[in-house]
A and B are shown apart, each in its own frame.
Chain A
């Protein structure tokens, strides 16, 4: 009898070996669900909900979230995996073996392509993975600083999606793609040699905040009142138009206004008459991206507008797709912010590609931060296994068993990879361990790499979770609700 049942007769509990069995079966259950996803040959899952929502994924983290886990142990593991995904922050202890196999790399395109490709091939079909690899690497390299010392801000890579019936294509746009267009029929659809003014200034007439009404005798008088109320906004529009005239008149240059605040139809009309393309309600983050992509500064007031505040883009054009409009800002001088444009036939494939791209970008970014890689495809696990077996002989007592168990556990990854690719697990493992013992140099020539920091994090969290699970000797469920019945 556990003491809890004295306090609450309705409490459920499981003790000692029973508790351990619960934990282990939960962990095994999760492993069973996940194992077929591992590696480039793993299966892709299409989850269809009761209402018909579709999700396609191979990402363990997504799967864990979708399964809506109830079991306490399983949810603990699931949370650890979420944490892994959320942060690639450093672990607290360095893992010795990992440091030994770590390969310092020079940050060049080839290395980045290899690590991104490894990551992406485990997510999508190889043909698509090759394409995405190219896009991701180019994206990061474009926005990274020349000497690769500053950390790369991945927010400066915008992911824009376009649902298009027949077109599947993902491309890198060296500039910005926005998911809205001009709201005036007379505005130009395409501009070349464009000045870009980014602003956060309202060009929208708001009704006065006080309880006021118009009292007028004639239509002219009413007009006058309305005009006076609008004057305020019109002044701002006039300043933009003046600037446009001063920089564009007599040249072949054109003018684009991208505003974070609203622009009302009357202001749009005035701008359209001048041939200015105006966009309203731009994303807050796009303001920052625009300044990086085109140059110039985002303006908070139009009081002191100068030419140097303006950015530049070679071409700005609008693309209409169904009810959605997109605006492309391309051919920028020195883009420090780029857009990856994902086209797909339906929402769920786009989401899957987007997830893959995020992971690919992250893998590249980690490599740049680590300046090191770990050989992938199970090579690290096999090496670690051999090192651990050798290490086992140097220690005494019960710990020997623990080391052996940990070493065996590491082999699960290469085993699962082998099984998923249709090889015999035993054969492969024996071949691998022997090969690894024979050739002490690292298998780096195949171009399959994993991130150093990711492996480090896995090793840290897996041993912590495992020891937590083993330390549990009682599981109980009792709460206020069960007490009161």
Chain B
């Protein structure tokens, strides 16, 4: 419905991130070009092969006729027929059935009730519980021999992660899956890489980036994610856990500073290191539980989806490579994320007025922990979405006061934002892009985060007014930015300051996985050199 009003070139080109396929039942599938690596136990009810191409047993009788899975008895018969064993010789050992969340059950039955409250924030145990997309059999990978442990990180240290990458049973298959996706691409631009940097997945990703650079040498936009919680590791108390986290971060950042084209650490927390009371960022108009992974990940995902939109539109001249280069001058690969969700536009207000009245009040809230890029000498890429062109300014005959504003001359959202930043930020370079498509915040998005003072379309209601009870916010306009400035060096300084307290010799987890002292020291030194790139305050 929304799409009808939007010009063709402003629609996203979904074929960039998704591929069309065809399953054994000759049904067309449309799945993301995604590879995910996880611990056993995280997938919950999801079979590793995905749900679209069969090759699994549907344990739930109610869902059996709806899915591509087989019945257990039938699977057994077919296996016997194929000759892998003598008839009637196959012994079935079935583990207890995994629980499936109510939302997933309704989704599979194609009977999701939009008004129903599925309580996802309280009940979601892993991402599989609120997953909306369905995956290709290639997508999901499980690390051999590791099981998810709710109390401690099963893949604890950076070096166990690198060892995991080298594991033959994992590596060969995984690299082949990357290749198969790449083979399908006509013009491969690069890779988006998201991972947890606080645990061993940092090491795994570091090695994976090396592989991607060796084999494909394309741009990589990497987003290391920090837990919005205090993480704990096996055989470590809170103090040691902190040290392990710092060492993981040092090694991870160092590897990213060498291998990534651009990287943007994300977290909803204000700072990461020594943030014992978990002080969180706040966005006006949104409330969320600080350590709820479902809600916080939705925020980060909203940022990512919007920030990358400019090179995913149809007929855009932009590419991932150019996008990255624009905000990473002089090798400053570390960038900071800023987000405004909801955008803050009042119901009935025009963008020109909103910007005029914003004054010194910053539009964006930072999503990179411990990073405040400031307002001068900033290089940034801003993407706005969901602000309709009619709301830019009023037509000349009705304009009134707006006519006197300098921005009245701007004819597009992006143009006006550019002008706004030109005026408010000193000595800065801004690239603005805009699309009229708002962020959809229907299920499974945690719509309950929106405060009562936000309308169904995501605009701010007048003071004191509230949205009708029972109605939800369906979509919201938003702004996302990637910023770079000399002040980002502080983020690295903070990390470096933490590293003084770490006594590597005392970290049993690391001595078990043979990290050489030299290796760590080199990483730390080179990270300092990387930090020096942020030193010159006048340089753009």
Q: In chain B, residues 83-120, which have Cβ atoms closer than 8 Å to a Cβ of chain A?
A: 83-86, 89-98
Instruction: Give the size range of B's interface with the partner.
Output: 35 or more
CA distance A132 to B4 in the complex (A): 59
Contact string against A for B residues 194-238, beta-carbon threshold 8 Å, 1 for contact and 0 otherwise? 000000000000000000000100100000000000001011111
Binds A, one of B144-152, B340-348, B395-403: B144-152
Contact A209:B54 (CB < 8 A) given known A45-B91, A168-B83, A323-B21: no
* A32 beta carbon closer than 8 Å to chain B: no
CA distance A58 to B91 in the complex (A): 10
Binds A, one of B74-82, B415-423, B467-475, B528-536: B74-82
* A52 beta carbon closer than 8 Å to chain B: yes
CB neighbours (8 Å) of B43 from chain A are 51
CB neighbours (8 Å) of B44 from chain A are 51
* A265 beta carbon closer than 8 Å to chain B: yes
* A49 beta carbon closer than 8 Å to chain B: yes
Query: Which residue from chain A places its CB closest to the CB of B57 in the assembled complex?
Result: A52
Contact A48:B79 (CB < 8 A) given known A43-B89, A125-B86, A211-B326: no
* A479 beta carbon closer than 8 Å to chain B: yes
B234 A481 Cβ-Cβ under 8 A = yes
Contact A128:B83 (CB < 8 A) given known A46-B92, A207-B321, A262-B188: yes
Q: In chain B, residues 299-325, which have Cβ atoms closer than 8 Å to a Cβ of chain A?
A: 317, 319, 321-322, 325
CB neighbours (8 Å) of A51 from chain B are 43-48, 56, 59, 98
A205 B22 Cβ-Cβ under 8 A = no
Determine how close the nearest CB of chain A comes to the CB of B501; give it in whole angstroms. Answer: 17
Q: In chain A, residues 34-61, which have Cβ atoms closer than 8 Å to a Cβ of chain B?
A: 36, 43-54, 56, 58
CB neighbours (8 Å) of B317 from chain A are 213
B180 A481 Cβ-Cβ under 8 A = no
CA distance A483 to B237 in the complex (A): 9
CA distance A320 to B240 in the complex (A): 55
A56 B59 Cβ-Cβ under 8 A = no
* B443 beta carbon closer than 8 Å to chain A: no
Determine how close the nearest CB of chain A comes to the CB of B186; give it in whole angstroms. Answer: 5
A44 B152 Cβ-Cβ under 8 A = no
Query: Which residue from chain A places its CB closest to the CB of B145 in the assembled complex?
Result: A65
Contact string against B for A residues 274-296, beta-carbon threshold 8 Å, 1 for contact and 0 otherwise? 00000011011000000000000
* B23 beta carbon closer than 8 Å to chain A: yes
CA distance A22 to B73 in the complex (A): 37
A125 B144 Cβ-Cβ under 8 A = no
CA distance A211 to B319 in the complex (A): 11
CA distance A181 to B508 in the complex (A): 50
CB neighbours (8 Å) of B97 from chain A are 50
Determine how close the nearest CB of chain A comes to the CB of B406; give it in whole angstroms. Answer: 27
Find A480's partner among B72, B180, B182, B237 (CB 8 Å cutoff): B237
* A91 beta carbon closer than 8 Å to chain B: no
CB neighbours (8 Å) of A483 from chain B are 237
Determine how close the nearest CB of chain A comes to the CB of B243; give it in whole angstroms. Answer: 12
Determine how close the nearest CB of chain B comes to the CB of A417; give it in whole angstroms. Answer: 16
B322 A207 Cβ-Cβ under 8 A = yes
Contact string against B for A residues 140-184, beta-carbon threshold 8 Å, 1 for contact and 0 otherwise? 000000000000000000000001010010000000000110010
* B278 beta carbon closer than 8 Å to chain A: no
CA distance A150 to B76 in the complex (A): 43
Contact A43:B78 (CB < 8 A) given known A52-B59, A54-B55: no
A348 B79 Cβ-Cβ under 8 A = yes
A345 B236 Cβ-Cβ under 8 A = no
CB neighbours (8 Å) of B152 from chain A are 481
6 A-B residue contacts at CB 8 Å?
A: A45-B92, A51-B44, A56-B85, A211-B326, A213-B317, A346-B75
Closest 4 CB pairs of A and B: A50-B98, A44-B85, A281-B183, A52-B57
A binding-site residues for B, Cβ under 8 Å: 36, 43-54, 56, 58, 65, 68, 124-128, 163, 165, 168, 179-180, 183, 204-207, 209, 211, 213, 262, 264-265, 280-281, 283-284, 322-323, 344-349, 352-353, 356, 479-481, 483-484
